[in-house]
Amino acid sequence: MAFKNFQEMIDAVKAMENKTKVCVVNAQDEHTLQAVSEAVNEGLIDAILVGDEAQIKEILEKLGQDVSKYTIVPAATLEKSLATSVQLVKDGKAHALMKGKLQTAEIMRAVVHDDYLKGTGMISLIGLYETPKYHKLFAVSDIGMNTYPDLEAKKKIVINGVNLLHAMGVETPKVGCLAAVEKLNPKMPETVDGDALKQMSKTGEIPGCIIEGPISFDLAMVKGAAAVKGYESPVAEDADFLLAPDIVCGNVLVKCLTEFADAETAGIMYGAAVPMIITSRSAKPSDKFNSIALTAFVAQNM
């Protein structure tokens, strides 16, 4: 069953028989441990905390946490923390990775330099959104990883998004390749790519979904817009996944959603051997919690 909101997803995670083991890299970060401890206390995950043992325990105690609930793996340096975390995943002892006190680039380097972890496809950052303006959860990508993807890269980003939505119970995701207009225009590359991706869906080159492109945001998402414009498509007003033409459009769109459309959000780095949680220190507590819940569910349903 596809989730209409984050609470349905959180309830599904709580009901899972086996808890996802989330490995936090360089875990001695209060913002991160606050989110992780909430997820542990709510029964969403089991946490493996890799890093400075003394600092990790000090922060947990400051947060009023029972240290015995956590598996702490000592690592004296960042390099050791990264190596240990990667090995825990490769040994099957951890099902997901989460960024602690380190830069996103540092954890991504460790992943892409490991033949097992990097997988065979492209890693992309997918945001999931819930807003009172829309009737279900929907995803947007890429919003922070791949900057100006070409057609082949967009194809892989779409496949990542489709696979994620399949894991979440959406049988045939409806994909909208965003552009300013709905007609192919050789002078507008995003319309050319959108049309090409639509043809790939029709021929089965990108299976398991319905792709419409190019399509404007209002036609993909806003009730009544298609009727006004006389536009017909199974994706119209019912998109599950929006492909941003580049990182600028994706980043601006999702910040507008969160800041002006009261959207709750979750983020996941998808495409590697295991899903990853790469949240900003400035993210709202609910965003971090939702991201952990999303990753916990997807890790066991990939």
Tell me: the pLDDT tens digits for 11-27?
A: 999 999 999 999 999 99
Is residue 116 predicted with pLDDT exceeding 90? Answer: no
Is residue 115 predicted with pLDDT exceeding 90? Answer: no
Is residue 47 predicted with pLDDT exceeding 70? Answer: yes
What mean pLDDT is predicted for residues 219-239? 95
- C-alpha span between 20 and 172 (Å, rounded): 26
Which domains can be identified in the chain, with CATH numbers?
Answer: 1-119+272-302 (3.40.50.10950), 122-269 (3.40.718.10)
- C-alpha span between 59 and 138 (Å, rounded): 35
pLDDT for position 119? 77
- 54 is written with which tokens? 């003394």
In 8-147, beta strands by DSSP E: 20-25, 45-51, 71-74, 96-99, 124-130, 138-141
What mean pLDDT is predicted for residues 238-246? 98
**96-99/276-277 β-pairing:** parallel
What mean pLDDT is predicted for residues 235-257? 96
pLDDT for position 70? 97
Q: Which residues pair with 243 in a beta bridge?
A: 141, 177
Confidence of residue 302 (pLDDT cuts 50, 70, 90): confident
Q: Find out whether 15 and 82 touch, Cβ atoms under 8 Å.
A: no
Confidence of residue 1 (pLDDT cuts 50, 70, 90): low
Residues whose CB falls within 8 Å of the CB of residue 174, separated by 6 or more in sequence, listed in order: 209, 210, 212, 234, 235, 238, 239, 240, 241
- C-alpha span between 115 and 244 (Å, rounded): 28
Q: Find out whether 141 and 163 touch, Cβ atoms under 8 Å.
A: no
Tell me: the pLDDT tens digits for 69-86?
A: 999 999 999 999 999 999
pTM of the model: 0.94
What mean pLDDT is predicted for residues 206-217? 98
Is residue 283 predicted with pLDDT exceeding 90? Answer: no
Q: Find out whether 31 and 63 touch, Cβ atoms under 8 Å.
A: no
CA pseudo-torsion sign 147, 151, 156, 162: positive
